[in-house]
Structure 1
């Protein structure tokens, strides 16, 4: 004859509580802060135009670049960095095409200005 121990409801609750403390659910983690996009920018060139916003103390640029000419040139946005480098966006290709862009400055730097350039496409 086997001896069975009676179930102890308090022990089950204690085990679940301990598991919740040791293995938190993903939704319980902090969500990242929303972007702070406070200033607009707009630029144009012979190949097209672009517009968007400066975000997070100029460490992120969001916007859209538009190709307005059937000239074999695809415009893109170039962000100049405080360190002297640049970050280039994706390009928009073909007259009438647009491309959403998001550019991030490397850690410890920020964007100082935006300009337009193009590639032959």
Structure 2
């Protein structure tokens, strides 16, 4: 089990604003339902950058986070949930490394905003 110590919030935050536009996405297998990814999101901070798409009526967010600075801090994306909790992506690091962002909210909730945070690594 990996225990991550959370540090101060990054400078970037993204809420649920903007018009929706449907983008077709291919399914990973014929029996799995395709994710409905609707609009782009992006974040940046002094530690890194992240971008991706909102999916399934804001119940998930998919994308990539990249560490852009050799500072001993590894960025990750935090999804703030409608119930006051949060979900975190994998962190990226050291500089130049990228990691996937695959955030999903529990049933009955949605992701209300995204922010970039970091751990010391």
Interval of TM-score (by shorter of Structure 1 and Structure 2): 0.7 to 0.9
Contact 2:89/2:100 (CA < 8 Å) preserved in 1? Answer: no
Equivalent residue number for residue 97 of structure 1: 97
Equivalent residue number for residue 85 of structure 1: 85
Which residues of structure 2 form unaligned runs of 5+?
1-29
Question: Within the alignment, does 1:63 sit opposite 2:63 as a pair?
Answer: yes
Contact 2:79/2:115 (CA < 8 Å) preserved in 1? Answer: yes
Query: How many matched pairs?
Result: 92
Contact 2:62/2:102 (CA < 8 Å) preserved in 1? Answer: yes
User: Which of the two has higher C-alpha Rg?
Assistant: 1
Equivalent residue number for residue 39 of structure 1: 39
Q: Aligned-pair RMSD on alpha carbons?
A: 1.0
Greater share of residues in strand: 2
- Distance of 2:81 and 2:96 partners within structure 1: 29
Secondary structure in 1 matching 2:32: coil
Greater share of residues in helix: 1
Q: TM-score, normalised by structure 1?
A: 0.74
Secondary structure in 1 matching 2:108: coil
Secondary structure in 2 matching 1:119: strand
Query: Runs of 4 or more off by more than 4 Å in structure 1?
Result: none
Equivalent residue number for residue 10 of structure 1: none
Which residues of structure 1 form unaligned runs of 5+?
1-29
1:32 is displaced (CA, Å) by: 2.8
The answer to which structure, 1 or 2, has the higher relative contact order (CA under 8 A, 6+ apart) is 2
Equivalent residue number for residue 117 of structure 1: 117
